Amino acid sequence: PGPSKEAYPVYNTLCEVVRDMDQSLPLIDKLLDPAIRKRHWKQLMRATGVSFDSDSDKFCLGDLLVLRLHEHSKAVEEIVDRAQREVVVEKELERIAVEWATLKIDFVPHLDYKDTLLLFVRDSLLESLKSNIAILQGMQASKYVQGNPAFLEQATAWQAKLGTVDSTISLWIETQTRWAALANIFLDSADI
């Protein structure tokens, strides 16, 4: 028997390249996730210590292989996981914006005083309000929102807006209820 395969440097180098490629290709596949944004590519550049332009028309598989992703597998997985979780936050913020762009409050005439309009808030609006406030509170505590200034700003802004809506509706209904109780006394009484 001749020398073992391991004695040949070319064989050893080829085995190493194949092993590295075998570990890198699944990581590259993960980086193809649609959740990956420009900020995630920047995080990858910091993790690998290699700069590249992911928006370039010339950006290709070879550019990713140069990153030696197999040496940074944990960082890649964390970046992809973060991106996927941030997409959930992004979609939830978009959903809240779309929902509140369509919700309306109604005014109905008072039964006895037709010229007087009363606030009428549908239960579905109140349910959305309470639900979205709770979602935003949980979202603001998330590290994915805390670590992203744009998300934190949006979540905080929505929390403030919905908090204002909640307190305004509560105060309005309380005042309206008191007015309705006293209206008959002051508007219908000839003595006052």
Beta-carbon count within 10 A of 184 CB = 11
Q: Which pTM was predicted?
A: 0.76
Q: How close are the terminal C-alpha atoms of the chain, in Å?
A: 119
State the Cα–Cα distance between residues 21 and 140, nearest whole angstrom: 39
- What tokens were used for 127? 């349910």
**pLDDT tens per residue, the chain (192 residues)?**
566 766 778 888 888 889 988 999 999 999 999 999 999 999 999 999 988 888 888 888 888 888 899 999 999 999 999 999 999 999 999 999 999 999 999 999 988 888 889 999 999 999 999 999 999 999 999 999 998 999 999 999 999 999 999 999 999 999 999 988 888 777 766 666
Beta-carbon count within 10 A of 76 CB = 24
